[in-house]
Structure 1
């Protein structure tokens, strides 16, 4: 168990061992979540990454993407479509 003191400005220093476990360093952000009446602190970047992963879950299968090359080809196709749209507007 780790302990942190709250300053008069409401600030705390997260103990080094907790920072290591969270994977946070200077300048990183943490998020406070409430679960079942308890407050949980977590790495904000990791929460965002997990949220994005969950949002995209199943999309590769839906789009028929099975290999890294499939993804590369999709990106090229999208870039070409965007270029063609922009180029058509300039004519």
Structure 2
């Protein structure tokens, strides 16, 4: 995602549809068929890539879970993955 700040506007059509300007889609990593999430905070609205937003929310919910499970290093992650794969093969 781009860290460049800019302002752009778009007209609301009769059915409430808005075209997201190309430079905004590019900055958000949004492509044809992607979904966007509108986050309303008072009179402000943020438009975010839904996939990125879902991942951010998941990361917030899982914060500390690895530490609680004793996964503290990349080696611990690799061992957990190996063990999980072996369980799936059973």
TM-score range, shorter chain: 0.7 to 0.9
- TM-score, length-normalised on structure 1? 0.73
Q: Which deviates the most, 59-68 or 48-57?
A: 59-68
In structure 1, runs of 5+ residues without a counterpart are 85-91
In 1, Cα distance between the equivalents of 2:42 and 2:8?
21
The CA RMSD measured in Å over matched residues stands at 1.9
Which gives a bigger RCO, structure 1 or 2 (Cα 8 Å, sep 6+)?
2
* TM-superposed deviation, 1:70: 1.5
Q: Is 1:58 aligned with 2:64?
A: yes
The structure whose Rg is larger is 1
In structure 2, runs of 5+ residues without a counterpart are 1-6
Say which structure is richer in helix.
1
